[in-house]
């Protein structure tokens, strides 16, 4: 006699950067997998790029290399191992520019078309942190729009993203992803703990080392503030690797800020919160953001963040903390529209915020914390659970 067990939960496989990484997308995927693992209605798997797997994660783990195919050749095997013949969900927490193959599998070969096409054994859900329009500033670029059209269900990470999807003829809900307020909050005596002079003027910038994050603008901003404040000025720059798309050592030399620069790598959330708390202002000179973790983290620690007035990154801050783009350029094979920025613009806005925090540190701190308190994951878990359960008819 053969015994068969009826599954008691719905298999859901997350596709994103590996959950063990420090990227923003990895953090989104990790937090969603953690939330789903707390829900008895779901059985969670995770297909992560760049990963090796960690024993401590309470879900099935699958890893694949960064070979430019974003998991396409590996996904059928992962799903078969994880779910077998069960019906379930594959949820991508990734940029749609990576997902044309997933949304529109025509031309990938008979096996992949069968796996991803009509009659497949799973629904396609996408959590999409949109960070740019196409050449038409009111619509997605053609390839991204085609990828989005192949999903059964979309959830935007911002109101801006939801509006962009709507103007492109696509339906989507929206929910922000959160931060852990128990880790990111104002830390008393942060400068004393770091050994920083209380009279110093400190600017912070936390961005990965990729083309979209304009580190040249960050260093240009630091140079202008150094000219304004002299030896009192201190520039804290946090990144994943100091030499890749940008060379931090060359930037520091060319912009004349080597002697006031502190570069950190591989910081824990607690260590980042300490530095955010100690800054007078932070900046995020990005050519387009789908959310912008450093914006929310800095504000949760009581420190204003200066951002680009474009895409979703500007939603959390007031107008006096937004820097208009000098121009826009169409970038990469995906034809996305990117902002062209000026360090002078960021320096002027940062200077205003620095002076404001110096004049009323407690008032600014409380204002910043209030602006992002709705992003506490403990509050967001309830609307997230509703959205997830609605997708399986509960």
Task: State pLDDT tens for residues 295-347.
Answer: 999 999 999 999 999 999 999 999 999 999 999 999 988 999 999 999 999 99
Outline where DSSP puts E strands in the chain. Answer: 10-17, 42-49, 60-64, 88-92, 122-128, 153-156, 173-174, 201-206, 233-238, 261-264, 281-284, 305-308, 322-323, 327-331, 336-340
Q: How far apart are CA 72 and CA 245, in angstroms?
A: 26
More confident residue, 4 or 340: 340
pLDDT for position 9? 87
Binning pLDDT at 50, 70 and 90, where does residue 1 land? Answer: very low
* Mean pLDDT to the nearest integer, 57-63: 93
Q: How far apart are CA 248 and CA 226, in angstroms?
A: 17
- pLDDT of residue 55 exceeding 80: no
* Mean pLDDT to the nearest integer, 49-57: 80
* Mean pLDDT to the nearest integer, 24-53: 92
* Mean pLDDT to the nearest integer, 358-377: 95
The dihedral sign for the CA sequence 373, 199, 348, 251: negative
pLDDT tens for residues 201-214? 999 999 999 999 99
- pLDDT of residue 216 exceeding 50: yes
Contact status, residue 269 vs residue 263, Cβ threshold 8 Å = no
* Mean pLDDT to the nearest integer, 210-230: 97
Binning pLDDT at 50, 70 and 90, where does residue 8 land? Answer: low
pLDDT for position 394? 83
* Mean pLDDT to the nearest integer, 85-113: 93
* Mean pLDDT to the nearest integer, 180-196: 95
The DSSP code for 57 is: S
pLDDT for position 7? 54
pLDDT for position 52? 78
């Amino acid at each position: 006699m053969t015994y068969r067990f009826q599954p008691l939960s719905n298999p859901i496989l997350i596709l994103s950067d590996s959950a063990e990484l420090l990227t923003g997308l990895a953090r989104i995927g990790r937090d969603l997998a953690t939330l789903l693992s707390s829900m008895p209605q779901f059985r969670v798997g995770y297909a992560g790029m760049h990963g090796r797997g960690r024993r401590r994660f309470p879900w099935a783990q699958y890893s694949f290399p960064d070979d430019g195919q974003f998991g396409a050749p590996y996904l059928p095997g992962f799903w078969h191992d994880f779910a077998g013949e069960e019906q379930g969900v594959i949820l991508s927490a990734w940029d749609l520019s990576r997902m044309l193959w997933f949304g529109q599998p025509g031309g990938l070969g008979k096996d992949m078309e069968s796996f991803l096409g009509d009659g497949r054994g799973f629904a396609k859900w996408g959590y999409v942190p949109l960070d740019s329009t196409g050449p038409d500033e009111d619509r997605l670029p053609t390839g991204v729009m085609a990828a989005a059209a192949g999903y059964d269900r979309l959830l935007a990470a911002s109101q801006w993203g939801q509006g962009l999807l709507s103007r492109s003829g696509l339906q989507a809900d929206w929910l922000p992803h959160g931060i852990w307020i128990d880790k990111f909050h104002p830390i008393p005596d942060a400068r004393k703990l770091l050994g920083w002079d209380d009279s110093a003027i400190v600017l912070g910038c936390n961005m990965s080392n990729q083309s979209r994050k304009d580190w040249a603008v960050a260093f240009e901003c630091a140079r202008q503030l150094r000219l304004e404040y002299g030896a009192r000025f201190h520039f804290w720059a946090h990144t994943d690797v100091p030499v890749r798309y940008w060379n931090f050592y060359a930037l520091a030399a060319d912009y004349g800020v080597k002697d006031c620069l502190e570069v950190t790598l591989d910081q824990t959330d607690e260590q980042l919160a300490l530095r955010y708390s100690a800054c007078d202002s932070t900046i995020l000179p990005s050519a387009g953001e789908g959310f912008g973790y450093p914006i929310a983290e800095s504000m949760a620690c009581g420190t204003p963040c200066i951002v680009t007035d474009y895409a979703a990154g500007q939603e959390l801050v007031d107008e006096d903390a937004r820097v208009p783009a000098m121009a826009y350029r169409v970038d990469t094979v995906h034809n996305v529209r990117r902002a062209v920025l000026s360090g002078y613009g960021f320096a002027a806005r940062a200077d205003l915020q620095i002076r404001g925090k110096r004049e009323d540190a407690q008032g600014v701190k409380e204002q910043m914390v209030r602006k992002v308190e709705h992003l506490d994951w403990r509050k967001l878990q309830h609307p997230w659970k509703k959205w997830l359960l609605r997708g399986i008819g509960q």
